[in-house]
Structure formats: structure tokens, C-alpha cells
Amino acid sequence: MCGIVGYIGDKKASPILINGLLRLEYRGYDSAGIATIEDDKIEIKKNKGRVNKLYELDGINDLKGTIGIAHTRWATHGKPSKENSHPHMDNSNSFAVVHNGIIENYHELKSFLIEKGYNFLSATDTEVIPNLIHYYYNQDKLDDENKVLRAVKNACKNLKGSYAIEILSKYNRDKMIVVRKDSPLVIGKGIGENYISSDIPAILSYTKEFYLLDDNEIVELSRDKVQFYDKDLNIIKKKIKSIEWGASSAEKDGYEDFMIKEIYEQPRAIRETIGAKLDNNHIEIEELEFNKEYLQSINKIYIIACGTAMHAGVAAKFTFEKFCKIPVEVDIASEFRYRDPLIDERTLSIYISQSGETADTIAALKLAKSKGSKTLAISNVIGSSITREADYSIYTHAGPEIAVASTKAYTSQLVLLTILGMYFAEKLGRIDKTKIDNLKADILKLPSQIEEVLKETKLVKKIANKVYKEKDMFFLGRGTDYAVSLEGSLKLKEISYIHSESYASGELKHGPIALIENGVTVIATMTNPDLLEKSISNIQEVITRGAKVFVITSEDIKNEELSEIIKIPKTNPLISPILSVIPMQLFSYYISKEKGLDVDKPRNLAKSVTVE
Ligand code: AGP
């Protein structure tokens, strides 16, 4: 996944472009580059390395152009290098292109272009785009103001795969063209200037007025005009969207890292996600038109996602099955889409995606839709690709999540899924009202309970300082405590690079307990009184084999025998992961900081995996 930015106006483009790239580095940061037009010449500055390395390039400060495109890369085809960094030009240096996505048929296109006499300087898939545009430009004998536009249209008709591309041309030096298919792209509307970006936060400090592009839309931008076309260059109209939240939401607001900021934003994120749906004991989800008959017709619910989003689904399964009495299967999107899942019109499939751009999750949704399933997307990004594909979409209100490691999105997803499960249950009438009302009351307490947990970080920090040099850790739990252990283990892996595994406590004695030896660190979670006895005996089993056990449990659970206990407020076990995950998030954060790692941008990872 990569980040792209564009600017067209009267200001010097380069600082605006670099500033935008710095806000998109969470999407990729192994190389970066910018291109601007001055007189009739396209100037390019690019190199391997982080965005701020652009300032070290010769002549970067001499770029006077007021139109430009820019790119920060997460390598897919071609290793990180100057040659493989974007922007890419055609052989005649008439077109410059930056691209986010994957051109799946680039080998075929490259061979075609080589036959036509083109040569290639990079190992990227992207480099075929400017040369293909040049090829069609030369084929077009009509010399009018839309010649570049037609060349772009014709080139894109040959591209297979995903692409958000920005194009500069020396033949149209007062215009810029962008095209979007399966990769995110937004346009920020200014006065006498326009901005382009992979996401809203990167340019939110310049404007609050946005156009959200849909697939196969081509846009020609000048300083005063934004003209939209479909893939055949028929003119289309787009509505402008005003964004309420401010640029500061996408800044660190005084926190050392985005991740710790986003951990501490969870009370607000949960409050706002609840507020939109659960008010005065009444649940309203106006985006959904599911009546009782439809819900009664459902004989299977799939919850499909990747990573942390999938872990939220694992935890939410309990609510749907307990309250709606409908079988739920949670699956990893990249597995689901290739195992020929049993789906028909009686299947409801739910897709969870913070970014709404995860390629595997979107592909799984398209598969289920093609087999007759109604599809419901849960995303944190308004207008994201997945919400455009789904029959229905509902949103978490967590605000932009910039840190690669997902925190507030997980807790917001789980609270929204729980509300959704109760919403279905009320319509189905398959469970007594008291149980639902009690859970609603517990949900409404969550924001203040999270604030309580966030106040008690000393013990978590102390434990993190004890174990940060460990090479292996285990996370144990039963029921929803097992679900949250999956998430705790992922957090540790992705930001501290320490190997860890999550196990259902009852599963230990079927093999993994062989790994427990003197000094091994185990994080055990037990918040469900009904599973307490079994959980404690599992903990005793590992203690007797020399494990160092740290327990996360509810304040009402007394057990003097256990050492190092992190207490969380008592709540319904169905939603206890929303509280028990907080110490796990902080635990991983403190360990990563202790190890001096880049918490917000862990190695090898991108915030949203928009490639398969
Ligand atoms: C979680 O910390 C990771 N960043 C990753 O597992 C993430 O949850 C996964 O890639 C899914 O992303 P999405 O929610 O944007 O689809």
C-alpha cells in the first residue's frame, strides 16, 4: 500500500506535497518522490528512504512549480530503490505518474510496450502506465484539449488490478488527471486550488470540502475546476462532502506517539460509537432495513475480516449466537475467499475493516455478494471502498486511526458489533428483554470504565519493564477471554517484534504446555465468573511448571494465590474484551518503547493492506 498526494494552485507545490506525504507515511515509507511542472518541463525528485529524506535531494528547494504529484511507497513490485520509487515517467518524459495499487497484468503490458519500442528503467508494475498513456497519446490523431484525457482513458481500459493514479503531462501543464479503481483517492476542494490524497487527514489542514471518488472515475483538475468523468469520459456529477473533524484529530495532540494517543482516545471513540446507535436504552440503526421476516430467514452469519478486525469478530460471535440464536462463523478474509464457502440468500455476511480498503476483505465481500448473501460492512472511514461495495454499511466513530497497530478501532468495532447483535435480537425477540437491557446498561458504562483502566497504568508499566527482553510470551483465556488474547498477542508481535501465541486455556494440555518452562511469561485473562474455576486451574498448571504469570481479571474476582494481578472493572463477559484489551495494548506499547522501536510504524507493516 502506498500514499499519494497532489496539488494544483498558485502556491509552490513541493512543500505542500511533502507535508502531505509526511501524513501518509503510515501507508508506506521505504521510498518517496515528487514531480512538479515548470514551464513545459516536468521536474522529478525521488529516492529510497523516508519522506523527510526528500529535503536532502539536490535542487528540491528550487522547485518552483505550482502543480505537482507525490508518492510514498510500500514496495510490492521491485525492491526499495531510487529507480523503483515514484513518480515514473514515460520514455519521452512527457507524462509523470504516481500510483497506489497493483497492476496485475503489467507483464503483458510491458511486453506489448517493449515490442512498440519502449524501454523500462525500473522493476515496478507502475512504469507501464506513463508509457501506455504516451502510446495512446501518439495514436490519437485528433489534436484538441482532451487529447491527454483520451490517452489516459484508453490506457486505463487496459489496466487490470487496483490503482489510484495521478498524472502530470507537459502537454497539459495547467491541468492534472487522476483515476481511481479499488484504491482510495479523495479530492480536497480549495479556492483557486485543489488537493488530492489517498486519505482525508493528509490534506485536512488545507480544506474541509471533499469529493470521494468511486471506482473507474476519471477526474481532470485545473485551479478553478474539478471535472468528473466515467470510464468512457461521459461527464458525471459528484456531491461535495464537508468533514466535521479537524486536522488535529489526525495529529498527535501532544502525545509522544499516535498509538498512545489512540489508546487514550478510546473513551471518546466508544462514547461516540455508542451515541450514534444506543440512546436512552433504545437501539436505532437507521442505515439498516432488516425487518423481522428477513432476520428470521437468516440461517447463518459469517463475520469476515483480517487481523485485529477479525479478532473483534471472534469476540462478537458470542453475542450473536447467545442473543440471536443464529450460527455464526468467523473467518479470515484471505482464507474465506478461496475455500468455496457455503453461501446463499439466507446467509448474512458482515465485513469488518477499519480502513475499509483491505483488499482481501473487499474481495471476500464481492464473492459472498455474487453468491446471494446480503453484505454488511463495518468501517471507520466514511465512503471507504468496502462501504461502497456492501449492501449496507455502519460506521464506528473512532476518528482517524493513524498508528499501524489498531487499538481504538478494535474496541469501537466490538461495541458496535455488540449493539448490532442486540438490535437483531430485539427484532427477533429470541431472548428475554432483561438480558438485553442489562447488557445495554453495561455498554453505557464502558467509556467511564475505560477511563478508570487508563488511570491505573503503573503495574502494567512495571510488568513491561520486567519482561521486555523476553523472546516468547503466551496469552491465555477462555471464551471471550480467549478472543481478546488473540488481540493481545497480535499487538505484542506487531510492535515489539517478540514472538507470542494465544491459546484457549483448555487447549494447553493438548500440546502447547510442553513449551512452558521455568521463567516463560504468560499473560492470562479471566473475567468470566462462570469459567473462573477452570481458568485458575489452567493458571496453576503453568505456574507449577515455572511460568511467570500475569493475570488480567475483574475487580470482583478474588484470588489471593495468584501473583501480579491487573484488575479491570466488572462488566458483562460478552464485552469484557473492551476493557481487558486496554492493559494488553499498554503492555505492548511500553515494551516497544522500552526496546526503542518505532511504535507507530513497525517494520514490514502498513496500516491498510490494499494489496492481496
Ligand atoms: C492490527 O493492529 C493490524 N494493523 C492489522 O491486523 C489490521 O487490523 C488488519 O490489516 C485489518 O485492517 P482493516 O481493519 O483496515 O481492514
Cβ(610) – ligand 1 distance below 6 Å: no
Q: From atom 3 of ligand 1, which residue's Cα is the shortest distance away?
A: 405
pLDDT band at 136 (very low <50, low <70, confident <90, very high): very high
Q: What is the pLDDT of residue 276?
A: 66
- Between these two residues, 157 and 28, which has the higher pLDDT value? 157
- Provide mean pLDDT across the span 141-163: 96
- The rounded distance, in Å, linking the Cα atoms of 211 and 595 is 42
pLDDT at 75: 72
What's the CA-to-centroid distance between 222 and ligand 1, angstroms? 36
pLDDT score for 459 = 93
> Strand 300-305 relative to strand 328-332: parallel, antiparallel, unpaired?
parallel
Pairwise CA distance, residues 203 & 24, whole Å? 10
Q: 44-85 pLDDT, tens per residue?
A: 999 998 898 999 998 998 999 999 999 998 776 777 789 999
At 324-350, the pLDDT tens digits run 999 999 999 999 999 999 999 999 999
Is the peptide bond prior to 87 cis by the omega test (within 30 degrees of 0)?
A: yes
CATH placement of domain 456-599: 3.40.50.10490
Q: Do domains 252-454 and 456-599 have the same CATH topology?
A: yes
Phi, psi dihedrals of residue 225, rounded to the nearest 5°: -145, 140
- Please report which confidence band the pLDDT of residue 560 belongs to, taking 50, 70 and 90 as the band edges: low
270 Cβ inside 6 Å of ligand 1: no
Q: Which three cell numbers stand for residue 1?
A: 500500500
Confidence of residue 104 (pLDDT cuts 50, 70, 90): confident
pLDDT of 562 over the 70 cut:
no
Ligand 1 touching residue 384 (CB < 6 A): no
Q: Under DSSP, is residue 365 helix (H, G, I), strand (E, B) or coil?
A: helix
Q: Using the 8-state DSSP alphabet, how is residue 321 labeled?
A: I
**253 pLDDT higher than 80:** no
Q: Is the pLDDT of residue 563 over 70?
A: no
Residue 350: strand pairing partners? 303, 376
Length of the chain: 612
Please report the pLDDT score of residue 250 as a whole number.
Answer: 64
Say which residues have a Cβ less than 8 Å from residue 406's Cβ, sequence separation at least 6. 307, 308, 309, 354
The string of pLDDT tens digits covering residues 352-397 is 999 999 999 999 999 999 999 999 999 998 778 999 899 999 989 8
Segment 162-180 mean pLDDT: 96
**Does the annotation count 607 as an active-site position?**
yes
Please say whether the beta carbons of 300 and 326 come within 8 A. Answer: yes
DSSP state of 117: T
pLDDT above 70 (res 232): yes
324 neighbors 492 (Cβ within 8 angstroms): no
Q: Which fold has domain 252-454?
A: Rossmann fold (3.40.50)
pTM over 0.85: no
Q: What's the 307 CA to ligand 1 centre distance in angstroms?
A: 5
For the segment 110-133, the average pLDDT, to the nearest whole number, is 97
On the question of pLDDT at 216 being above 70, the answer is yes
- 361 ligand 1 Cβ < 6 A: yes
Domain 3-250 has CATH 3.60.20.10: yes
| C-alpha span between 550 and 564 (Å, rounded) | 5
Which pLDDT value is given to residue 523? 97
Beta-carbon contacts of residue 234 (< 8 Å; ≥ 6 apart): none
Any idea what DSSP says for residue 323? I
Lowest mean pLDDT among 275-279, 292-296, 579-583: 275-279
Determine the pLDDT at residue 564: 83
Q: What is the pLDDT of residue 252?
A: 75
Of 199, 308, 410, 609, which is best to mutate to test ligand 1, by the most ligand atoms within 8 angstroms of its C-beta? 308
Average pLDDT, the chain: 93
Long-range contacts of 248-252 (CB under 8 A, 24+ apart): 249/201, 249/204, 249/399, 249/400, 250/23, 250/201, 250/202, 250/204, 250/400, 250/402
- Give domain limits for the chain: 3-250, 252-454, 456-599
What distance in angstroms lies between residue 290's CA and the mean position of ligand 1's atoms? Answer: 28
Ligand 1 binding pocket includes 113 (Cβ within 6 Å): no
Whether residue 248 has pLDDT greater than 70: no
Per residue in 452-496, pLDDT tens? 999 989 999 999 999 999 999 999 999 999 999 999 999 999 999
CA of 259 to the centre of ligand 1 (A): 14
Least confident range from 18-27, 242-251, 395-404, 575-584: namely 242-251
Which pLDDT belongs to residue 356? Answer: 95
Burial class (CB in 10 A: 0-12, 13-18, 19+), 165: buried
- 2, 156, 306, 324: the catalytic one is 2
Q: Are strands 217-221 and 176-181 parallel, antiparallel or unpaired?
A: antiparallel
